[in-house]
Amino acid sequence: MTLARTPLFDEHGSAGGKMVPFAGFEMPVQYPAGALKEYHIVRDGGCGLFDISHMGQVRVQGPDALAFLQYVTSNDVSRLTEGQVQYSALLNNEGGFIDDITTYKLSDDEYYLCINAANRHKDLAHLQRETAPFRVSVCDESDATTLLALQGEQAQSTLQPLVNINLAGIGYYRFATTEIDDHAVMISRTGYTGEDGFELYLPNALAVPLWRALLAAGARPIGLAARDMLRTEMGYALYGHEISDQVTPVEAKLMWITKLDKGDFIGRDAVRARREQGPERCLIALKLTGRGIPREHYRVFAGDAATGEVISGMFSPIAGGIALAYVQPEHAETGEFSVEIRGRRIAAERTRTPFVRSRVKKS
């Protein structure tokens, strides 16, 4: 299979990025300093720059845009005001996740969706299939769009000299539009790291100049490995791990983005039934009390009973061995857990996410 490349492919090569296949793209997993150093840049007061242009972008517009999105997404889009962002999901008829998404309200009849790279074509086909009863258009703008994430305590001070709007005025899960070198740019105070920062949507023509300007201003390039470390510490869902088409919001603890009382939407009846029946498995957070690194698919025990497996796991420089795991409902509230690592069961305690303190600015 031929892998796609983002507009910044050559920039990653010049910076020594180690490229790997990811979601159909060649993406940098790390740079010469290594993933741990990159992690600390973001977590310890610096500013990390991520190329996340592999993500998909879809524009939804028309007089029925709101009604359409109310039907195809799980959250209540009617609560959005212009300039606001919402975390949401596309569900199938069985209540499972087609994808988790973010929804941006541009105006009453125009919205912008950010979708996962691996699901781009599936999501687009699903959305377009559901347009028939609505006066709405669904346009894939992924190939024309570069998406950057600037994350860390110094994100705002690094970006501010390069833009002509006051970044301090952009609240959490809010966005604003501006121009950089005569190109329209959408700047969103969102991210996937638990640190303050922004995601920037821009035309491909601006990708290389802005990437270089941000690096010159003090940002450092960050690869996929450090990004996954940062998101795991926050307990953020990743498609194919915590969520999939076989997992409903009930199991994934994402009922907070699933508004059953907003009216009919795809998957609503199935989710309601699952909530009433109870989850088939439960997502829990674990912290090892012994030495070891919990990895994906490692078996989890409650006492002597095999009860589930690790979905995401790592060694956190701050919290030690941490894991998100799915376990049987009857064991979800018990206290004696262990994770099997190389034939040995390492004791673990149930905890809460985030595993480390989030420093996003929510006010």
Same structural domain, 16 and 80 = yes
Same structural domain, 189 and 142 = yes
Residue 244 sits in a domain whose CATH number is: 3.30.1360.120
Closest CA to 29 of 5, 12, 8: 12
Q: What is the pLDDT of residue 363?
A: 65
pLDDT tens, position by position, 259-268? 999 999 999 9
Query: Residue 25 — φ and ψ, nearest 5°?
Result: -120, 160
Domain with 176, as residue range(s), is: 1-278
pLDDT tens, position by position, 166-201? 999 999 999 999 999 999 999 999 999 999 999 999
Residue 58 domain flag: yes
Same structural domain, 293 and 263 = no
pLDDT higher than threshold 80 for residue 292 = yes
Same structural domain, 267 and 290 = no
pLDDT tens, position by position, 75-125? 999 999 999 999 999 999 999 999 999 999 999 999 999 999 999 999 999
Examine the fold and report which residue of 250, 278, 306 is the final residue of a domain before the chain moves on: 278
pLDDT higher than threshold 70 for residue 230 = yes
Give the three-class secondary structure for 280: coil
Same structural domain, 287 and 271 = no
Residue 109 domain flag: yes
DSSP H or E segment with residue 22: strand 18-22
Which residue's structure tokens are 């989030």? 358
Same structural domain, 55 and 153 = yes
Same structural domain, 110 and 247 = yes
Residue 141 domain flag: yes
Residue 341 sits in a domain whose CATH number is: 2.40.30.110
pLDDT tens, position by position, 56-66? 999 999 999 99
Both tokens of residue 282?
Answer: 């439960």
- Tell whether the torsion through CA atoms of 282, 287, 288 and 291 is positive or negative: positive
Please give the average per-residue pLDDT across 195-221, as a whole number.
Answer: 98
Which residue's structure tokens are 């006010």? 363
- Tell whether the torsion through CA atoms of 193, 198, 200 and 206 is positive or negative: negative
Same structural domain, 68 and 171 = yes
Closest CA to 242 of 252, 250, 254, 234: 252
Residue 356 domain flag: no
Residue 84 domain flag: yes
Same structural domain, 261 and 186 = yes
Query: Residue 66 — φ and ψ, nearest 5°?
Result: -65, -50
Residue 357 domain flag: no
Average pLDDT in the chain: 97
Same structural domain, 263 and 289 = no
Contacts 24+ apart (CB under 8 A), 7-11: 7/53, 7/146, 7/204, 7/207, 7/208, 8/51, 8/53, 8/146, 8/207, 8/208, 8/211, 11/51, 11/208, 11/211, 11/212
Examine the fold and report which residue of 278, 306, 331 is the final residue of a domain before the chain moves on: 278
- Rg for the chain, CA atoms, rounded: 21
- DSSP assignment of 50-90, as one string? EE-TTSEEEEEESTTHHHHHHHHBSS-GGG--TTBEEEEEE
Q: What is the pLDDT of residue 159?
A: 98
Residue 361 domain flag: no
pLDDT tens, position by position, 130-161? 999 999 999 999 999 999 999 999 999 999 99
Same structural domain, 186 and 289 = no
Same structural domain, 10 and 156 = yes
- Please give the Cα distance from 36 to 47 (Å, whole number): 14
Total structural domains within the chain? 2
Examine the fold and report which residue of 254, 278, 302 is the final residue of a domain before the chain moves on: 278
pLDDT higher than threshold 90 for residue 334 = no
Residue 360 domain flag: no
